[in-house]
């Protein structure tokens, strides 16, 4: 990703900024307006002060800096609800700063990070550390999940209420399922008293052989252990019963199978308090992408069949799948340059989140506003974040992008400290020209 980043500025240096000659896109209000030099968006310090097609008909304010959008789209910054920043403890894979640089290059202004760091985010000091470090670096805003169970062992619950007061956005064991039904039942009941969200990695661990890929003819041909689709489906079916028992609030992360989508669709129809997301690999790739043992395409959950991929798109279209998250999982080179069964799972995704999601728009599956909604407004609402909209008085977290410009994903060009993208060499459309956080331009494409 080519561009440059701007260091944090003092608040008094922000001033008024007028964005003109832009196509305003706000999924929350369904706003889609092309503005010339007489319209656009005005920020005053950290917030949006005015927006519309005629707000500059009498000229822009004399003390405002004009930013010519050159006809590009101006939307809320992306909201990514599943990111591993790796700091503290695994800085050789990634850091809060490297995640912030990758995020802003990809238009992501808000991230929610998983708790599987070292030490695990399971006490007030760790929750506060993440937010404090992100503020100091001055790139994307980062909010932490906290661990649902102590040491992520799925046995004893953490102090959910205290952690929520400290700033934890939701509770999860990251890339580990809560396999014990009684533990999850207690968690849902306890969290309900605080109106808190539990996030589940839906995968029955006893059905997941080490080093496997999706159970299929491809797995058999490659001689790799198979991870059956049922590993996901069983957990989703079980957990819906637990939600029904407790009245709790549950979110399923990175759904990858068509049958799980069907189960969630039926659960929503019954009025259960459930939501879910998926990640770009599950609607843009299938298990054939493993090719000749490509470890960059080894993910958790694994890439599924073509039928599953199409079912994920159908779930996005009809709203069963609420949001799209990058599932950014940086791994160091030594963890990926191993035989497939020994390599670590996961792929980086912050810089490709927008472009790959826009495949849904370019392929005619979803409108541009609906696609953007899955990565802005909807995830912000799910996690009660003040983000994802262009409304007056909202935070001036913005993304200026060209939805048509094409580029090729190359692992060596990524800003992320880790380069393990499953989309290596893929042709995509959608380039971020400028990323703005709290009124500050923090990233500009080199041509902007």
Q: Please give the model's pTM, rounded to 2 decimal places.
A: 0.96
> Sorting pLDDT into bands at 50, 70 and 90, what band is 160?
very high
Is the pLDDT assigned to residue 12 strictly greater than 90? Answer: no
DSSP codes joined into one string, 390-424: --TTSB--EEEEEEEEEEE--GGG--SSS---TTT
Closest to 116 (Cα-Cα) out of 183, 173, 200, 34:
173
- Look at residue 446 in the predicted model and tell me its pLDDT: 86
Tell me how far apart the terminal alpha carbons of the chain are, to the nearest angstrom: 13
Tokens linked to 267: 């659960």
Residue 203: its pLDDT value, please? 98
pLDDT computed for residue 1 by the predictor: 58
Query: What is the tens place of the pLDDT at every residue in 58-89?
Result: 999 999 999 999 999 999 999 999 999 999 99
**Beta carbons within 8 Å of 260's beta carbon, 6+ residues apart:** 202, 232, 233, 236, 252
CA distances from residue 63 to 15, 16, 436 in whole angstroms, order as listed? 8, 7, 19
pLDDT of residue 7 exceeding 90, the answer is no
Q: Is the pLDDT of residue 8 over 70?
A: no
Residues of the chain with pLDDT > 70, as a percent, come to 97
Task: Tell me if residue 327 is catalytic.
Answer: yes
Domains of the chain: 3-75+396-445 (2.30.40.10), 76-382 (3.20.20.140)
pLDDT given for residue 6 in this prediction: 73
Candidate list 327, 359, 402, 424, residue with the active-site label: 327
C-alpha to C-alpha distance for 60 and 19, rounded to whole angstroms: 10
């Amino acid at each position: 990703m080519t561009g440059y980043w701007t260091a944090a500025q003092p608040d008094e240096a922000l001033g008024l900024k007028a964005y003109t000659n832009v196509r305003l896109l706000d999924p929350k209000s369904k706003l889609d307006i092309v503005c010339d030099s007489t319209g656009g968006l005005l920020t005053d310090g950290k917030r949006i002060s005015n927006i519309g097609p005629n707000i500059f008909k009498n000229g822009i304010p004399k003390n405002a800096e004009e930013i010519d959008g050159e006809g590009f789209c101006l939307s809320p910054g992306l909201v990514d609800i599943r990111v591993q920043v790796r700091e503290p403890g695994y800085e050789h894979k990634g850091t809060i700063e490297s995640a912030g640089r990758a995020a802003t290059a990809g238009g992501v202004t808000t991230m929610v990070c998983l708790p599987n760091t070292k030490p695990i985010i399971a006490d007030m000091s760790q929750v506060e550390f993440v937010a404090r470090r992100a503020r100091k670096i001055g790139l994307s805003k980062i909010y932490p999940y906290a661990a649902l169970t102590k040491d992520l062992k799925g046995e004893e619950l953490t102090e959910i209420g205290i952690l929520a007061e400290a700033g934890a956005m939701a509770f999860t064991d990251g890339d580990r399922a809560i396999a014990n039904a009684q533990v999850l039942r207690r968690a849902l009941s306890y969290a309900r008293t605080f109106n808190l969200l539990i996030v589940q990695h839906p995968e029955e661990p006893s059905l997941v052989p080490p080093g496997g890929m999706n159970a299929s003819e491809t797995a058999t041909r490659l001689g790799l252990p198979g991870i059956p689709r049922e590993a996901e489906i069983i957990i989703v079916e079980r957990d819906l019963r637990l939600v029904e028992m407790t009245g709790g609030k549950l979110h399923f992360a990175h759904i990858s199978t068509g049958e799980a989508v069907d189960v969630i669709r039926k659960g929503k129809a019954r009025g259960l308090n459930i939501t879910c997301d998926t990640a770009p690999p599950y609607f843009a790739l299938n298990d054939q992408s493993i090719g000749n043992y490509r470890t960059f395409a080894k993910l958790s959950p694994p890439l599924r069949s073509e039928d599953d991929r199409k079912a994920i798109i159908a779930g996005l279209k009809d709203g069963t799948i609420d949001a799209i998250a990058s599932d950014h999982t940086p791994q160091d080179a030594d963890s990926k340059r191993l035989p497939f069964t020994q390599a670590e799972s996961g792929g980086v995704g912050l810089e490709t989140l927008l472009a790959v999601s826009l495949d849904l728009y370019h392929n005619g599956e979803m409108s541009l506003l609906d696609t953007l909604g899955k990565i802005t407004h909807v995830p912000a609402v799910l996690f009660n974040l003040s983000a994802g909209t262009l409304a007056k008085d909202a935070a001036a977290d913005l993304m200026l992008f060209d939805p048509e410009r094409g580029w090729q994903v190359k692992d060596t060009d990524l800003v992320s400290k880790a380069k393990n993208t499953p989309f290596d060499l893929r042709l995509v459309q959608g380039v971020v020209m400028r990323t703005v956080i709290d009124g500050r331009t923090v990233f500009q494409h080199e041509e902007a």
